[in-house]
Amino acid sequence: MKNSTTAVTETGLNALDTARLQYNRVALMERQTKNSVKPPIGTTDVAGLGLNALDTICIVPRLPEPNGKLRIRDLRVEPGGQVATALVTCTRLGLKARYIGSVGKDDAGRAQLESLSAEGLELDVREVEGASSQVAIILLEEGVGERTILWTRDPRLSYPVEQLRRECIINSRLLHLDGCDSVAALQAARWAREAQIPVVIDIDEVYDDSTHELLCLVDYLIAGSDFADDPCALADRYGCPVVGITRGAEGAVFVDHGRVVKSNAFQVPVADTTGAGDVFHGAFIYGLLQNWCMDDVVRFSHAVAALKCMRIGARRGIPTLPEVREFLKQRGYTMAS
């Protein structure tokens, strides 16, 4: 008589093998369930969805003429990107920030992730197999600080709206966008509006037809002078309570609930204007979350951007809060509290 524990079943397995197989299946299902459930999202001051980039900065004695040849004086690789740099500014100033975006699964992507982690950002970033991370070649005129940017972005880096998590957006005090990942940005803005979370956008181009719908969901629209010239016209068209046009060294003009706020940029020795607008936006977000009046927010943003411009690279010159306070004090201003 055969022992029942070793009896062979119709499948060719004995009872002991069958039990082990069933146990392994259950264990595998448990592991898959654990791996598929992402950890809960905590609260943060600002969530941002948008661009990151790795900049190769070529420092040249002058910008090249057509068909010309020019020797590079110095070459630097620095992290940048609109939303990523704005969020780094937020963390340097003492806020908590969450970055949502994509990188390629390559050396540039790894460098970008390391740079953001080093700044203390919470990351919800896709590493896209086979895609190249966004890069830029920047020609920087030595002694002048003005630059020309050449950039490229793999379309596979576009953030899929189906992978965007609502809790990443609504568990924040403010949402920052650049409009690049248009479908995901529009969904994020809708969630923010439903949760009564203010939305700030750094917009420099109309990406597609959905950009216009997105701008109607924005509370604070900031654009450069190459995007638009009249903030009142933008406010009327999209219904944004606050609209600003930044003009580089010429300052900025904002419309705050119908009131026009004009401001001058601080004059400093400029090494590099790369990322100055992104840093301005990060400082602007900081001021908003302190509940400052618009005049103080804009003045503070100019100060932070000016300090950044004194060093080469989008992020290298981003100051800390005590540095900004001292900068303003030297120029006769007391930072709002």
Q: Name which of 15-19, 232-236, 254-258, 295-299 the model is least confident about.
A: 15-19
> What's the mean pLDDT in 279-303?
98
pLDDT tens track for 78-110? 999 999 999 999 999 999 999 999 999 999 999
- Is pLDDT larger for residue 21 or for residue 306? 306
Is the model's pLDDT at 223 over the cut of 80? yes
Question: Residue 187: enclosing H or E segment and its boundaries?
Answer: helix 182-194
CATH number of the domain that 47 lies in?
A: 3.40.1190.20
Is the model's pLDDT at 187 over the cut of 80? yes
- Indicate whether 32 belongs to any domain: no
Question: Which pLDDT does position 41 carry in this prediction?
Answer: 74
pTM: 0.87
- Indicate whether 60 belongs to any domain: no
Q: Which residues, at least 6 apart from 326, have a Cβ–Cβ distance to it below 8 Å?
A: none
Question: Which pLDDT does position 144 carry in this prediction?
Answer: 87
The span from the CA of 7 to the CA of 202, in Å, is 71
Q: Name which of 19-23, 47-51, 111-115, 306-310 the model is least confident about.
A: 19-23
Question: Which pLDDT does position 4 carry in this prediction?
Answer: 42
Q: How many helices (H) and strands (E) does the chain have?
A: 10, 13
Q: Among candidates 45, 16, 1, 8, which has minimal Cα distance to 287? A: 45
Question: Which pLDDT does position 75 carry in this prediction?
Answer: 97
Residue 295, CA distances (Å) to 161, 230, 264, 289, 300 in order:
36, 19, 11, 14, 9
Question: Which pLDDT does position 133 carry in this prediction?
Answer: 98
- Indicate whether 249 belongs to any domain: yes
pLDDT tens track for 168-177? 999 999 999 9
Percent of the chain with pLDDT over 90: 83
- Indicate whether 125 belongs to any domain: yes
> What's the mean pLDDT in 244-251?
96
Instruction: Write down the mean pLDDT value for the chain.
Output: 90
- Indicate whether 337 belongs to any domain: no
DSSP-assigned letter for residue 159: P
Question: Which pLDDT does position 1 carry in this prediction?
Answer: 42
- Indicate whether 15 belongs to any domain: no
- Indicate whether 274 belongs to any domain: yes
The confidence band for 240, taking pLDDT boundaries of 50, 70 and 90, is very high
- Indicate whether 11 belongs to any domain: no
Is the model's pLDDT at 291 over the cut of 80? yes
* Domain span including residue 209: 39-52+81-133+155-330
DSSP letters for 311-322: SSSTTTTPPPHH
Is the model's pLDDT at 337 over the cut of 90? no
Question: Which pLDDT does position 42 carry in this prediction?
Answer: 86
Question: Which pLDDT does position 38 carry in this prediction?
Answer: 58
The domain tally of the chain equals: 1
The span from the CA of 87 to the CA of 121, in Å, is 8
Is the model's pLDDT at 321 over the cut of 60? yes
- Is pLDDT larger for residue 184 or for residue 16? 184
Largest CA distance in the chain: 101
Torsion of Cα atoms, 204 then 206 then 208 then 209, to 10°: 140
pLDDT tens track for 105-156? 999 999 999 999 999 999 999 999 999 999 999 999 998 888 999 999 999 9
Q: Are 109 and 127 in contact (CB under 8 A)?
A: yes
